[in-house]
Amino acid sequence: VCWGELAFNAMAPVVVVHGNGQGDDGRGGDFWEGKVLNSRDEPRLEMKEGFLVPFRRDKFPIYSDISMPTQSTADHGKLLGFLIPSIAREFGAKHVHIVTHSKGALDSRDFMARFVPPNFGIYSIHTVSGPHQGSPGPDYQLDAVGASLTYSDDAVRAAIGALSAPNPGTQSLRVSEAATFNATNVPALPMEQTVDGITHKVQYWALSGDMNLDNSKN
């Protein structure tokens, strides 16, 4: 009997990465089920349909159990450098597709620029509402800590910021912080990668929305 070696390329799974504060109860994957963490002391808000429904319907490999306690982008990027390759190995794959929400976009970009191991690849990254240029919301949160409603030019926003306390991930979302991050991160992002001698391009996609500054609710 002559034994041969059978090799095959496993389908690259989709790995989803949650946003700021969604893993503080250890159940970050619940966000993708349509359950949004509002406060550790309250039940998760329930959406009508979770993000994972079409993936499961079409039997597409997806991993949604990443749950990271709220930390900075640098801390999460390093953690994803361990988690994502490990998840791919569970699927028998050396590539992944990444889908992110909110701060998960910055965390994943940090992973891609600094922590991708040798002979491992990302086919694509899709960011949903990723604060690539930072966000004025966290600016309000941080600045409102010491703000006075008496002197604020927008008392309503100052009050909202004061009621929504910043967390360890908020600083990474500042507009100025994002600008500093982008200056080093963007040039370091891979445009193509080589795995097992085969080179592929990395695809970057972003889905964004505005804050309805015209007061519309559509």
Any residues with CB less than 8 A from the CB of 201 and at least 6 apart, and which?
Answer: 191, 192
Compute the distance between CA of residue 34 and CA of residue 153 in angstroms, rounded to an integer: 36
Give the predicted TM-score (pTM) of the model: 0.86
Q: Where are the alpha helices (DSSP H) in the chain?
A: 53-57, 73-90, 104-114, 136-144, 155-163, 175-188
**30 three-state secondary structure:** helix
Q: What percentage of the chain carries pLDDT values higher than 70?
A: 83
Say if residue 3's pLDDT is above 80. no
Q: What is the model's pLDDT at position 7?
A: 46
Q: Which structure tokens are listed for 45? A: 């808000």
Compute the distance between CA of residue 119 and CA of residue 99 in angstroms, rounded to an integer: 21
What is the chain's mean pLDDT, rounded?
Answer: 88
Higher per-residue confidence, 102 vs 2:
102
Say if residue 40's pLDDT is above 60. yes
